[in-house]
Amino acid sequence: MASQAARRGPQSVDEIIQKRKDEEAALAKPKFLSKKDRERIALEKLTKHREAKLQQHQQNGTFYGSTTTNGTSSTNSTPIPSAPRSMQQQRGDYSRNFKGSSRDAAKNPSPPSETENLDPEAKLLRERYMGIAEIRRQKRRRTASDRKFTFDWKTEDDTSSDYNPIYRGEVSASLGLKNTGEAEEKKKRALELQDILRKKKDTDWDSMHWSEKPLDKMKERDWRIFKEDFSVSTKGGSVPNPMRSWEESGLPPEILRAVEEVGYKEPSAIQRAAIPIALSCRDVIGVAETGSGKTASFVLPLLSYIIEMPVLNEVTKSDGPYAIILAPTRELAQQIETETRKFCNRLGFRCVSIVGGHTISEQSFALQEGAEIVIATPGRLVDCIERRVLVLSQCCYVIMDEADRMIDLGFEEQVNKILEALPVTNTKPDNDDAENPRLMSTYLGGKDRYRQTMMYTATMPPAIERIARQYLRRPATVIIGSAGQAVGTVEQRVEFVTTEEKRRRRMGEILNSGEFQAPVIVFVNIKKNCDMVARELNRIGWKAVILHGGKSQDQREAALKQLRDGEADALVATDLAGRGIDVPDVSLVLNFNMAKNIEDYTHRIGRTGRAGKSGIAMTFLSNDDQDTFYDLKQMLSKSALSKVPDELRRHEAAQAKFAARKTMQNIQ
Ligand code: ADP
Ligand code: MG
C-alpha cells in the first residue's frame, strides 16, 4: 500500500486527514506485542528512568561512588555497586534473614526497614547482583553433611597411598635433600612408621569380627565371642573349637556334598559345637533344645566314622551294625530315621529302625540285608538281642538321644543291658588318652576303632550321671542356650508356696534368716502387688523402693539410685521395669510371683550373680505357673548349682513343653 502511494505522487489534504484518522484508529485498537517488543520497550523505559535518576543523583551529589574512598568514581556513569556497598547490603540481608536470633540482631543493628526503604531500582540492582538464590542459600539449614565432607566409603577401605606417611617420607627422602643427615633422619622415621603400620595391621585383626577373619587368625577371644554369638558353652578338657561353616568342619567331601544337597546352608549351634568334638573322636554330652538340629549333629560325624570302616560284605553284614542310635519312643526313633536316611541314602549306607509296632520276624527280615546303622527304642532292641535276631559284635558307635526321657520312661535297665552287650575290646581307656584325638582315631588290631559314645539330654538327673560315668570316657559337654552362660553363677531355688499370705510369711523368713545382705530385688507380676510387697518389706525392717511401668522415668531413676547408694535395702519391681536393671552385688532375686515365661525368668535371675559373683534366685511357685514348669525344670537341671525339687520334677506339667501339652489336650 505504501509503495502504491509513493508511485501516485503528492497526497491530497483529504488523503492526509484520512491517513491520520486511520493511524489514530490503529493506535486506539489493542495491539499485539511480541515478547521481543515488550522486552525492548521495558529496556527503553528502564534506561530512560535510570538516566533521569542519575541526573538527579548527580545534582544532589549522592551517587554511590561518592561514598567510597575513591573520590573520582563520581565520574563513572555505570551504576555498578562498589564492593563495600554490596557487602553492606549483604549484611543487611543477613540481619533480616536471621532476625529471629537476638545474637545476630545485636551484631547487625541495621534495622530491617533499611532494605525495605530502598528504592525499587536499588532493589532491582540488588536482586541482580546478589540474586534471590543468594538469599535463599543463606536461609538453608545446615545439615550434618554440610559440616564435614563425608566419603561414601569407609576409611579402612581407602587404599589410596597419597596420604600414607611412609610414601610421604620416602618421597622427601629421595628428593635429594642436600643435608644427608636430614635425609637419613627422614628415612629412619619412614621405617619406623612402616613398622608401626605393620603392627597396626596385626592389631587390626583384633578389632575385626570373627566372621571377617580367616581361620588361622582366630584368637581365643574370637572363639569366645563366636561361642557367645551362638550361645554355646562347653565343659571338659581340650575341647576343640566349634566350626564356623560347613567348609571348615573337617567333614569328608562326600558328606559335605550330601549336606549341600539336603539344603542345610549353615550349621545350627549344636552342630557347630558338637561336630568338631565328635570328629576328634571324643565322647560327647550334648544339651540342646528340641528342634535345634541335634540329629544331624550326631549323624554326620557318625557317617564320617563309618566311611572309614570296611564296607559290609556277605560275611560281616551278619555281625550287626557299626552304630546304634537309641531313642525313647517309636516316634522319636522314626524322626531320627527320616533325618538319617537323607544322608545315608546319598552315601549308600543302610539304616534300619527297630521299634515296637512291627513283628520280630519283620524286623529280622529287615536286618538280613545288613545295616550300618540301627535306630532303636531300648525295650525293642533288648528283645532283638535276647532273641538273637541282632548281634552287636562290631558296633563301635553309640548314640543315646533324649537320654533323660529314656530314664523318665523307665528304660535305665534296658539301656544298661544294651551297653553291656557291646564289645569291650575297643573301649577307651579312662585316662588323658581318651582326650587325645590322634590316639583315639587309631585302628585296633586292624579293623576296630575305639568305641565312641554320644549322649544327648536336656537335663542331668542322677541316673544320667550314672550312665555317663560308666559308659562315657572323658566326655566333652556342650550346652546350647541361655542356661549355659548367663545364669551359670546363679543358684536357683524354687518352692511351691501357694497363697499370698503364705508367700508374705515365707518372704519374711527368708529375708530375716540372715543369709542375704541388702540389696535384694523382689519381682512381682502386677503393679498392684508392688505396693503390697513393699509395705510388707518395710514392716519387717527392709526399706523398700518400687519400680513399675506406672512410675515416671525420674521416679525410676531415683528408686534405683537409692538402692545403689544403700539408702534402700530392697527393690520391688515388675518385669517391664526389671529389664536391664544393673545394681551391683544383688545377693538375692526373689520371684514373689513366677515370671510368665522362661525368657522373663532368665532376665530376672540375671540381676544377681553378675560380674562373676555368685547369687541366689528364689521363686515361689503355684499351679497357676504350670505353663513354665517344663522350661523351668530344664533350666534348673542345666544349672550345676541348682536342684530340681521332686514336686516340680514329677509335676505333670513339667513333663512336656506347654505347647506340646496343649496340642495333646486338644487331640484328646
Ligand atoms: P532336634 O533333634 O534337636 O529336636 P532335629 O535334628 O530333629 O532337631 O532337627 C529339626 C529340624 O531342623 C529337622 O527338620 C531338620 O531337617 C532341620 N535341620 C537340622 N539341621 C539343619 C540345618 N543346619 N539347616 C537347616 N535345617 C536343619
Ligand atoms: Mg531329636
| pLDDT tens readout for residues 295-354 | 999 999 999 999 988 888 888 888 999 999 999 988 789 889 999 999 999 999 999 999
For residue 591, give the DSSP letter.
E
Index of the ligand 1 atom closest to the CA of residue 265: 24
Give percent of the chain above pLDDT 90: 30
Backbone angles phi, psi at 324, to 5 degrees: -125, 145
Nearest CA to ligand 1 atom 13: 293
By CB atoms closer than 10 A (0-12, 13-18, 19+), residue 652 is: exposed
User: Cell numbers at residue 546, please?
Assistant: 518400687
State pLDDT tens for residues 589-618.
Answer: 999 999 988 877 887 887 887 655 678 999
Nearest CA to ligand 1 atom 15: 293
Nearest CA to ligand 1 atom 19: 293
Q: How far is the CA of 611 from the centre of ligand 2 (A)?
A: 35
Average pLDDT over residues 35-50: 80
Return d(Cα 599, Cα 622) in angstroms, integer: 19
User: Cell numbers at residue 597, please?
Assistant: 515365661
Confidence tier at 63 by pLDDT (50, 70, 90): very low
pLDDT at site 321: 94
Q: Point out the ligand nearest to the CA of residue 333.
A: 2
Model pTM?
0.51
Q: Which residues surround ligand 2, an ion (CB under 5 A)?
A: 294
- Candidate of 325, 339, 457 to mutate for ligand 1, largest count of ligand atoms within 8 Å of Cβ: 339
Index of the ligand 1 atom closest to the CA of residue 264: 24
Residue with cell 549522592: 62
Question: Of 328, 333, 327, 318, nearest to 389 (Cα)?
Answer: 318
Average pLDDT over residues 100-129: 51
Q: How far is the CA of 286 from the centre of ligand 2 (A)?
A: 11
Return d(Cα 476, Cα 274) in angstroms, integer: 9
State pLDDT tens for residues 156-192.
Answer: 444 443 444 444 444 333 344 445 677 788 778 877 8
Q: Point out the ligand nearest to the CA of residue 296.
A: 1
By CB atoms closer than 10 A (0-12, 13-18, 19+), residue 515 is: exposed
Pick the CATH number of 490-667 from 3.40.50.300, 3.40.50.720, 3.40.50.150, 3.40.47.10: 3.40.50.300
Q: How far is the CA of 504 from the centre of ligand 2 (A)?
A: 43
Are 310 and 372 a contacting pair, CB within 8 Å?
no
Return d(Cα 335, Cα 343) in angstroms, integer: 14
Average pLDDT over residues 285-297: 84
Architecture of domain 295-477: 3-Layer(aba) Sandwich (3.40)
Q: pLDDT at residue 657 above 80?
A: no
pLDDT at site 179: 54
Q: Point out the ligand nearest to the CA of residue 405.
A: 2
pLDDT at site 21: 80
By CB atoms closer than 10 A (0-12, 13-18, 19+), residue 71 is: exposed
Return d(Cα 473, Cα 398) in angstroms, integer: 13
pLDDT at site 81: 35
Q: For the chain, where do the domains classified as CATH 3.40.50.300 start and end?
A: 295-477, 490-667
Return d(Cα 49, Cα 51) in angstroms, integer: 5
* Total H helices, total E strands in the chain: 30, 16
Q: How many Cα atoms sit within 13 Å of 245 on the Cβ side?
A: 10
Nearest CA to ligand 1 atom 16: 339
Asked, as a colleague might, if the bond just before 242 is cis with ω within 30 of 0, I would say: no
Ligand 1 cavity residues, CB under 6 Å:
264, 267-268, 271, 288, 290-296, 335, 339
Q: Which of 377-381, 472-476, 653-657 has the lowest average pLDDT?
A: 653-657
Q: Which of 255-269, 446-460, 513-527 has the lowest average pLDDT?
A: 446-460
Q: Which of 113-122, 247-256, 259-268, 518-527 has the lowest average pLDDT?
A: 113-122
Q: How far is the CA of 300 from the centre of ligand 2 (A)?
A: 14
User: Cell numbers at residue 418, please?
Assistant: 544294651
> What average pLDDT does the structure give for the chain?
76
